[in-house]
Amino acid sequence: MIAATRNYLRFLWRCGRIAFVGDWRYYAWMGVLTIVSLVGLHAYSRQLVDGLVVTGMGDEVSWGVYIANFTFLVGVAAAAVMMVIPVYIYDNEELHDLVIFGELLAVAAIIMCLAFVTVDLGRPDRFWHLIPVIGQFNFPASMLSWDVLVLNGYLLLNVHICGYLLYCRYHDRKPARWFYIPFVFIAIFWAVSIHTVTAFLYVGLGGRPFWNSAIVGPRFLASAFTAGPALIILALQVIRHVTHYRITDKALLTLRSIVQVSMLINVFLLINEVFKEFYSGNHHVASAKYLFIGLHGHHALVPWIWTAIGLNVTAMVLLCLPLSRSLKWLNLTCVMAILGIWIEKGMGLVVPGFIPTPLGEVIEYTPSLNETLVCFGIWAFGLLCYTIFLRMAVPILQGRLAKANEGRPEIQGDEQEIPAAFPSKPDRIPTPTAH
């Protein structure tokens, strides 16, 4: 037991050391992210002292860009399952080696989700009420208590799966199937649940008719399975470019197929929602009118939502054309899909639900500079975490960071040649069907 603990601590120590080693590009990237994170932390410190008055939110619009980012990132985290399912259920050879990158992205996304929820709290010192047993958790009546469970549960599941597989690869031994396979299948269910529960947070608010629709949950999942894999496609190409890790074009095109189908479903569900809102013609359509055409001279979100629709439709058309099989066009399509869904499922979903107020007032919301800086800081911190995760994972998967070469000097960079005494192992993540 003592030896196992010592080995694990040594493993963590070596992973921690290598996270601070790289070439000038790595240091420049990490430096920029650190500076932006600190700027965001400074902005949050001001919010912590003065309160939410420094944001653009108020009594009328109490959810803003913080919750918009939270909603989008929950989808990004849930989308990791779109790599897990082909690998662990259908034994897709092209994604075998890459699934761990998607799971690490899910970990970084959940960390950002929790950060956005934290900064949205007016009294963060009372967060302990959200802790089961210790606080007044109000489970199962409160949907927020369900969200706390699914978010933290999904985070722990992905940390366990990624950590265990990497630790086994570090020791060059086959993982015990009973110790991670059950958690893989639980994580598949959990990934769907985190975005479904988030959708139920909106749907459950009966006083907000804009959110009171049965297809909000399916819309959330469709958008998640579009934006998440699109983001993973871009991330994998960056990994391939800066680390020379073996990532095939066929693997990227497999993810393209997932994005293609999900985008078609996403646009179809949007058309259904727009039809439901405008064809009925009742007084509950006011929020949708504000979003799409403006209401009583107020139209702050109109340019944004039509930009999002334009980006989504254009991305859908490109995905249906052979043109998007070219990586240059695929990258452009992924960027358009991500931006379009961020607007549509972020500001385009959250803010209109509060407009007009129950008294019929139209109070428009605009994020303040302080609020925007906090958002940039959290995004930078999330990217910083993901970069560190990748910096530790890639050398382990390539066999350059292993128990066998523990006595050797730490790797100085991904461009360094691997010593002949320690050849690279096959880049494969163990799966249930692997022999």
DSSP 326-337: SHHHHHHHHHHH
- Which pLDDT score, from 0 to 100, does residue 120 have? 92
C-alpha–C-alpha distance, residues 98 and 255, integer Å: 11
Q: Is 295 helix (H, G, I), strand (E, B) or coil?
A: strand
| Nearest CA among 302, 315, 308 for reference residue 343 | 308
Separation of first and last alpha carbons in the chain: 29
Residues in the chain: 435
Mean pLDDT by 10 residues, the chain (435 residues): 83 88 90 96 94 90 92 88 74 74 91 93 81 74 83 90 89 85 87 88 85 88 91 90 83 90 93 86 82 87 93 94 90 94 89 86 90 96 95 89 72 42 37 39
C-alpha–C-alpha distance, residues 387 and 105, integer Å: 10
Q: Which residue has the tokens 């420094």?
A: 54
CATH architecture type of domain 13-405: Up-down Bundle (1.20)
Q: Is 389 helix (H, G, I), strand (E, B) or coil?
A: helix
C-alpha–C-alpha distance, residues 234 and 279, integer Å: 39
- Which pLDDT score, from 0 to 100, does residue 408 have? 65
- Which pLDDT score, from 0 to 100, does residue 423 have? 35
What proportions of the chain, in percent to the nearest 5, are helix, strand and coil? 70, 0, 30
| Nearest CA among 359, 382, 354, 338 for reference residue 56 | 354
Q: Is residue 126 within 8 Å of 408, Cβ to Cβ?
A: no
C-alpha–C-alpha distance, residues 394 and 26, integer Å: 14
pTM, entire model: 0.88
What's at 396, amino acid-wise?
I
C-alpha–C-alpha distance, residues 234 and 248, integer Å: 13
Q: Which two tokens stand for residue 257?
A: 């197929």
Q: Is 410 helix (H, G, I), strand (E, B) or coil?
A: coil
C-alpha–C-alpha distance, residues 216 and 124, integer Å: 29
- Which pLDDT score, from 0 to 100, does residue 93 have? 66
Each domain of the chain, given as residue ranges in start order, spans 13-405
Q: Which residue has the tokens 């302080």?
A: 370
Q: Which two tokens stand for residue 205?
A: 């608010």
C-alpha–C-alpha distance, residues 311 and 393, integer Å: 34
C-alpha–C-alpha distance, residues 422 and 406, integer Å: 11
Q: Which residue has the tokens 């990791």?
A: 80
Q: How many CB atoms lie within 10 A of CB 279?
A: 8
Q: Which phi-psi region, left, alpha or beta, contains residue 91 (left: φ > 0; alpha: ψ -120 to 50)? A: left
